[in-house]
Amino acid sequence: MRHWLIYCFVFSILLGCSSEDAKQDNTYVPIPYQLDIPVLFQNKLIDPIIPIDNQLTVEGVALGKRLFFDNILSVNNTKACVSCHSPQNAFTDSNQFSVGVTNTSGSRNSMPLFNMAWNFDDRYFWDGHALGLEQQALEPVIDAIELGNDSWEPVEAKLNNHPEYPQLFKQAFGTSTITKTLVTKAIAQFERTLISGNSKFDKFSNGEVTLTAQEQNGLSVFMDESKGDCFHCHGNPNNPLWTDNKFHNNGLDATFSDLGLGQVTGNPNDNGKFKSPSLRNLAYTAPYMHDGRFTTLDEVIEHYSTGLQPSSTIDPLMKKVGQGGVNLSTQDKADLKAFLLTLSDPSFINNPAFIQQ
């Protein structure tokens, strides 16, 4: 009897400890996030690329959005990711060069952010020097011109001492210890949700609307190798990304002050090559080109029509560089512009999921 009582006593203690451990553990399991993928993308593109070690969760995306809009990432708490990537401009900057914490700027235009889950070569920046979206997000925080920190350590310290962020990271990643790796994972999760797929041309492709005669002719100019010949670098109606995500020298300069991809690879054959941006949302993303040299879409079209500059690395696709360009008629230029504007998506820049509430 005595042994039975001792056994019961010990068992009750162990049960109580187990229950207390369970209460203290209280493990939170993040909720998987379901991307809102347009039907057109489902029909014409492969599945989005999500890293196995950074799967999207509701908590991770919400945390990434908060960090994207939070000035806490800058050295003096005055700038955030959104400062150079505004939702109203399809997550780019309406200035030629973005101004950082020291009121100085670099020499390249801020790239727009959308449909990055389908960036199949996974290289970022105009020159492709960052491999992976998470890696890309590391750089602006410690760039002297952008967010201005000497290192990530003070940023990590600010976040770890914040009254709310440790718990938010605990829910998103299972730890309240905040590191730069987790910060950039969260931001990358949010950025992968920035999907633009509801332009007029998308609706046309879905059979919901019709194009005007001018817009139809503009598409023909775009696809015609003897006219615009735009589709090699920027895709076609079967590629709703409207970019090949590759690097080209598109005849901007005869000599280069910015080597672009060549600066990264060290290969002289890559000098003057920059990533082809998507043609989506051109109504919101001016100025254009890697250095924002063109303030209007008309200037861009004129460049390809009459302004091509020959150089040793000019892309073979610029077949009419000897004639200065494709020499479009005034009507074809107007029609091409009309078509290009059908690729803009007003619902994207007004999506409440992408705007700070």
Other CB atoms closer than 10 Å to residue 122's CB: what's the count? 16
Residue 323, pLDDT score: 97
- The H or E element spanning position 123 is strand 123-124
Tokens of 62: 């919400």
Residue 26, pLDDT score: 66
Superfamily assignment of 39-195 in CATH?
Answer: Cytochrome c-like domain (1.10.760.10)
Q: Which of 26-35, 66-75, 244-253, 345-354 has the lowest mean pLDDT?
A: 26-35
* Residue 301 near residue 330, CB atoms below 8 Å: no
Q: What are the pLDDT digits (tens) for 302-339?
A: 999 999 999 999 999 999 999 999 999 999 999 999 99
Average pLDDT rounded to a whole number, residues 16-42: 75
Within the chain, all domains assigned CATH 1.10.760.10 are found at 39-195, 200-348
Distance CA 197, CA 289 (A): 22
**Is a pLDDT exceeding 70 seen at residue 137?**
yes
The distance of Cα 314 from the centroid of its chain, to the nearest Å, equals: 26
**Is a pLDDT exceeding 70 seen at residue 27?**
yes
**Is a pLDDT exceeding 70 seen at residue 18?**
no
Residue 231, pLDDT score: 97
157 band by pLDDT with thresholds 50, 70 and 90:
very high
The CATH code belonging to domain 200-348 is 1.10.760.10
**Is a pLDDT exceeding 60 seen at residue 91?**
yes
Residue 293, pLDDT score: 98
DSSP state of 118: G
pTM above 0.85, yes or no: yes
* Residue 249 near residue 289, CB atoms below 8 Å: no
Q: What is the dihedral of CA 70, 71, 74, 76, to 10 degrees?
A: -160
Residue 357, pLDDT score: 77
**From residue 86, how far is each of 69, 173, 196, 253, 345 by CA, in Å?**
10, 27, 15, 29, 15
Distance CA 44, CA 115 (A): 14
Distance CA 252, CA 263 (A): 17
Q: What are the pLDDT digits (tens) for 257-307?
A: 999 999 999 999 999 999 999 999 999 999 999 999 999 999 999 999 999
**Is a pLDDT exceeding 70 seen at residue 7?**
no
**Is a pLDDT exceeding 70 seen at residue 25?**
no
